[in-house]
């Protein structure tokens, strides 16, 4: 079942066309990764999907009753605020303790609700953001560079958790990354974006695609 599709989605800022005729689709239970260099329009695409960015032309089709969970790339949160995880999860809307505990468990943070935010590691904080996106039991989860700032093992752990989330909730997951090798194992499909879609397919296919290798300046020795 299709969860989401975009139809010739284009976004311009002034004369600067950032997204051009983007056609993507996500099926239920799929993990799809959008990969592309800085400034290639990845965040803009996610923002268009959640309705925070109005397309210049084209549209986003979301199957009715889909609940979207979203972890933005940048959050204006002071992690040192004297606030517990529970309190943070209750912003901006009050949440039921049972729902918060379920979301924390799904994010791999069981029992951490009463912990102050300031005591969490970077990886744990990213999972708190994941938990917050899971509270409403989304059928589509959008993650914008959710492992930014984590080291290799931290980001591998995070992606393992994402696979568990998919298994447990059966939701579709659309994530943004700028590194293919870290998402290879986790993704069913990869879409390589550079303003327009330059190639897409299974990770092993994209990895050897000339368009992808050219975009990231990889030579054959790195295959
Ligand atoms: P990515 O997430 O792939 O790094 P973005 O989608 O954040 O790329 O940005 C793509 C381009 O669009 C960049 O050149 C950025 O400066 C520009 N851009 C993004 N949002 C805005 C905005 N609200 N106003 C003007 N330009 C923007
Ligand atoms: Mg971005």
Per-residue pLDDT tens listing for the chain (223 residues) = 899 999 999 999 999 999 999 999 999 999 999 999 999 999 999 999 999 999 999 999 998 778 999 998 877 677 677 899 999 999 888 999 999 999 999 999 999 999 999 899 889 999 999 999 999 999 999 999 999 888 989 999 999 999 999 999 999 999 999 888 888 889 999 999 999 999 999 999 999 999 999 999 987 766 5
How many other CB atoms are found less than 10 A from the CB of residue 51?
10
For residue 81, what pLDDT is reported? 75
Please tell me the residue having the least CA distance from ligand 1 atom 1: 39
Dihedrals phi, psi of 121, to nearest 5 degrees? -75, 170
DSSP letter, residue 185: T
Note the pTM of the prediction, 2 decimals.
Answer: 0.94
For residue 73, the CA-to-ligand 2 centroid distance in Å is 6
For residue 39, the CA-to-ligand 2 centroid distance in Å is 7
For residue 17, the CA-to-ligand 1 centroid distance in Å is 10
Please tell me the residue having the least CA distance from ligand 1 atom 7: 43
Helix (H, G, I), strand (E, B) or coil at 12: strand
């Amino acid at each position: 079942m299709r969860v989401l599709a975009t139809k010739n989605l284009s976004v311009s800022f002034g004369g600067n066309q950032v997204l051009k005729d983007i056609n993507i689709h996500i099926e239920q239970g799929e993990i799809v990764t959008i990969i592309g260099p800085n400034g290639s329009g990845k965040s803009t695409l996610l923002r268009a999907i959640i309705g925070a960015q109005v397309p210049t032309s084209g549209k986003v089709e979301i199957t009715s009753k889909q609940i979207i969970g979203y972890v933005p790339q940048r959050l204006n949160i002071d992690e040192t605020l004297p606030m517990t995880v529970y309190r943070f999860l209750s912003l901006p809307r009050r949440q039921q303790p049972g729902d918060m505990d379920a979301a924390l468990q799904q994010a791999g943070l069981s029992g951490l609700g009463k912990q102050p935010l300031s005591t969490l590691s970077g990886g744990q904080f990213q999972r708190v953001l994941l938990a917050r996106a899971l509270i409403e039991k989304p059928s589509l989860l959008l993650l914008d560079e959710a492992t930014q700032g984590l080291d290799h093992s931290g980001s591998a752990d995070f992606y393992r958790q994402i696979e568990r989330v998919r298994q447990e909730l059966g939701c579709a997951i659309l994530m943004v990354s700028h590194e293919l090798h870290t998402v290879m194992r986790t993704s069913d499909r990869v879409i390589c974006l550079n303003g327009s879609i330059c190639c897409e397919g299974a990770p092993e296919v994209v990895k050897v695609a000339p368009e992808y290798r050219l975009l990231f300046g990889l030579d054959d020795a790195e295959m």
